[in-house]
Amino acid sequence: MSQSEFQKYQSRPLLPPCHHPQSRLLPKALKTQAEQLRTAKVAAKSGHRRRSVGRRSTKMGGPRKLLLVGLLALLATFIQANESVQSLVTLFEVRGAVKDRLKLAHEVGAFNESGIEFRHHNYEQMVDYLRDLAERFSDMTHLHSIGQTHQRRELWVLVISKNPLFHSPGVPEFKYIANMHGNEVTGREMLLYLATVLLENYGKNDYITRMVDTTRIHIMPSMNPDGYERAKEGDEDGITGRGNAHQYDLNRNFPARFPSELNKVKLQPEAAAVMKWSLDVPFVLSANLHGGTTLVNYPYDDLPGGVRGASELTKSEDHELFVKLAYSYARAHSRMWKKGPRCLKADLNSDFDPVAGIINGAEWYPISGGMQDWVYVYTDGFEVTVELNCIKFPHAELLKPLWEENKYALLEYVDQVHNSIHGFVTDARTGFGVENATISINDVNKIVKTYKFGDYWRLVNDGTYQITFDHVDYHPETRTVVISREYPSAELNITLVKNGDEELLPRMREIADADPMTSSSIQQRQSIVFVLAAILLAVFC
């Protein structure tokens, strides 16, 4: 990345920290539902009791199903107003929005792991391993370097997909990065094993085949190969090899979101290469694999006043989404989500035990210049940091049990890339994709943009969203979209009318109103369901 490019990214408008009052944290749709529930309860007490009682059923359907919907609505309203991690996790469990390891094992099915070499791979061995995969599966892989380190080692990325060479319109992009700290090596090996499993089971395992067919997966086993070459096997909690060749901590080297923290460190080639790569490819979701404990942490990592001061919960405006993403990994892990010591080796433990194995970065310990914050603030993507193992450079005999702990979680996290509102934004007259149209939802400041083909992805949890599409050269359009556990993904294709083509607006509005997924009838049907549920709740409770 050139100096001018870096300055351009530095000058990009920063997202303000989220300091909304609690009322703004509650989505508009849930506020409306809560008001409807209160109104309905009053109505129920004033004369609807006899009529409602006559509709009782002994089956889990009809009124009881509506009652359950109403109870879940109340629970969701309360939880989203309070937003504690424990309450959010409870909500995700009740809704069935996350999968445990046993359920995932059944869903994934049996797959072949015989091609995995459970040993450590130095730089040359890692490159040979990647080249072997790329040669054996040449129609499904693209091995390339995104840049070089100070010591001229290549930063290799293996792309796995049906169309690995280029972005396929409508196919989301996902990336895993490991070994950012050179002495934290578990993630490096896990990604080599994951690549092996994806490729050797394609066409043989339905789950893996579908994943590869519908996702373009980028795997970078080592972001800091220079540091790795200095690290030593058996290092439990040391720092030898942590930094790059010039002893810079790469997870403090990205542009911070607060101006006071910018330009405090010299941009390193490894970070610059990842930045350029992350901006060139329309990544939707990513994870950064580390070592030192066993948990998932999520943005924000920094505090408004920089890294000074005590740890403090610093929520992003997508706090609930990040909690779900983090918990999706932790819950699919064999023990990360459980209460208790983080480390299997007793002398590495402390009293630290985050709820459900996940924690906000700044609440854990604040840092400035971290990669996950940079991804969230400066790109269209979302990223979490996964701490895979308490021992930073474990002996080789521990690699197989570590793979067993993490293999389903690694797969499940990739699959989260599909829980989105997505589609194409096209020009009403030409039919061509509109590049750089902005997509915003509700009151969240996080904006994503369409890629060159007009395709876009916006990760979301269950809920009702007002989604607005805008472009400086076009008339904006807003739609309502409902995301549920049964339908966690929604394809929404939008046609924008260019300034000067106003005669096309009436026809475009007619088409939009006729769309059953985004018409006002959705809100009407949803309102009826919640009002009925509220009446039953008032009668029975």
Q: Which residues are catalytic?
A: 387
Distance between CA atoms of 36 and 396, rounded to whole angstroms?
59
C-beta of residue 26 within 8 angstroms of C-beta of residue 81: yes
DSSP 8-state class, residue 369: S
**Relative orientation angle of helices 399-415 and 101-108, to the nearest 10 degrees:** 80
Distance between CA atoms of 383 and 322, rounded to whole angstroms?
8
Partnered with residue 359 across adjacent β-strands are 297
Distance between CA atoms of 212 and 413, rounded to whole angstroms?
14
Give the angle 56-58-64 at the CA atoms, nearest 5°: 60
Distance between CA atoms of 46 and 67, rounded to whole angstroms?
19
| Residue that the structure tokens 């106003």 belong to | 502
Write the single-letter amino acid at 194.
L
CA torsion sign for 335, 341, 343, 346 is negative
| Residue that the structure tokens 């943009």 belong to | 449
Region of residue 116 (phi > 0: left; psi between -120 and 50: alpha; otherwise: beta): beta
Region of residue 178 (phi > 0: left; psi between -120 and 50: alpha; otherwise: beta): beta
SS3 state at 216: strand
